[in-house]
Every structure is written in structure tokens, then in C-alpha cells.
């Protein structure tokens, strides 16, 4: 299940990385480094990679959050992990039949699933702020 979600969700990150690399390689500091004879490996490691790392981290954390939601939805529908494997979606699915008598069996897994996704998004936002070379000096 995790492999299938991972294999099908890498394309938006690749598109973002490709666009950022193409933009970064046309920037003035990369052209200046190329004009003084800096080797391509050093240009990539010193100039392009630090400028592309921030969008990669944001895209990766958003991808992780989307994968958590996808797995939860699939498990809720019954096509995720096996029934004996506890996941957020399976806990929600099991609690639906007791919703009228024990609403906390649905509320707690739903709230914790939402908090997990929100936490992953905030960690990605913090990593972006920490790794972005354009706002590092502020």
C-alpha cells in the first residue's frame, strides 16, 4: 500500500524540482560562476542545490501529508491495509457502527489524523524557512 502510494505520487515533486533547477541555472550568480570556469559539479552543489532544496522539502512534506490522507481514506473504505493492522482509516471505519453510542471512537482518530497531517505540514514549513537561502539572512 505504501509503495503504491509512493510510486504514484512522485511526479508533482519532480515537476517542481525540474522547474526550479531550470530557473536556478539561468540566474546571474550561476552564470557568473560558469563564466569564471567553475566546474559543473561545484555549481550544482554550491549554487543550484541550496536554492532547490527548500521547494523539495515543502513538496516532500506536502506529499507525506497527502499520502497519510490517501492511506486513511483507502483504509476507511476497506481497501487499505488488512483489518488487523491499525491505521487511522481503519479506526474510523471500525468506529462508524458505534457512532451513536460512542462518538469518541470516531472523533479521536479523526482529530488525531488531522493533527498529524497539520504537524507534518508545519514541520515542512519550518524546514523551508530554515533551509531557504533567500530568507536565511533575515
pLDDT, tens only, 117-127: 999 999 888 88
Tell me if 71 is assigned to some domain. Answer: yes
Domain count, the chain: 1
pTM for this structure? 0.76
Question: Average of pLDDT values for 76-101?
Answer: 86
What CATH number is associated with residue 123?
Answer: 1.10.3720.10
Question: Is residue 63 in a domain?
Answer: yes
Q: Does residue 137 surpass a pLDDT of 70?
A: no
- Rounded Cα distance between 82 and 76, Å, is 11
For residues 115 and 94, is the Cβ–Cβ distance under 8 A? no
Average pLDDT over residues 25-51: 91
Mean pLDDT of the chain: 87
- 41, pLDDT greater than 70: yes
136, part of any domain:
no
* Residue 60 pLDDT: 85
61 inside domain = yes
Domain for residue 82, yes or no? yes
Would residue 58 count as lying in a domain? yes
Q: Tell me the residue range of the domain where 38 lies.
A: 2-131
In a domain, residue 137? The reply is: no
Secondary structure of 114-130 in the HEC alphabet? HHHHHHHHHHHHHHHHH
High-pLDDT (> 70) share of the chain, %? 96
Let me know: does 35 contact 94? Beta carbons within 8 Å.
no
- Let me know if residue 6 belongs to a domain: yes
Amino acid at each position: 500500500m505504501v509503495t503504491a502510494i509512493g510510486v504514484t505520487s512522485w511526479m508533482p515533486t519532480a515537476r517542481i524540482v525540474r522547474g526550479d533547477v531550470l530557473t536556478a541555472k539561468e540566474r546571474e550568480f550561476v552564470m557568473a560562476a560558469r563564466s569564471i570556469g567553475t566546474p559543473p559539479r561545484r555549481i550544482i552543489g554550491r549554487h543550484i542545490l541550496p536554492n532547490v532544496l527548500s521547494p523539495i522539502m515543502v513538496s516532500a512534506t506536502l506529499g507525506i501529508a497527502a499520502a497519510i490522507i490517501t492511506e486513511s481514506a483507502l483504509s476507511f473504505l476497506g481497501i487499505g491495509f488488512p483489518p488487523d493492522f491499525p491505521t487511522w482509516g481503519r479506526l474510523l471505519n471500525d468506529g462508524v457502527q458505534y457512532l451513536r453510542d460512542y462518538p469518541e471512537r470516531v472523533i479521536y482518530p479523526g482529530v488525531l489524523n488531522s493533527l498529524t497531517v497539520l504537524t507534518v505540514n508545519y514541520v515542512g514549513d519550518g524546514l523551508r524557512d530554515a533551509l531557504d537561502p533567500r530568507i536565511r539572512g533575515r
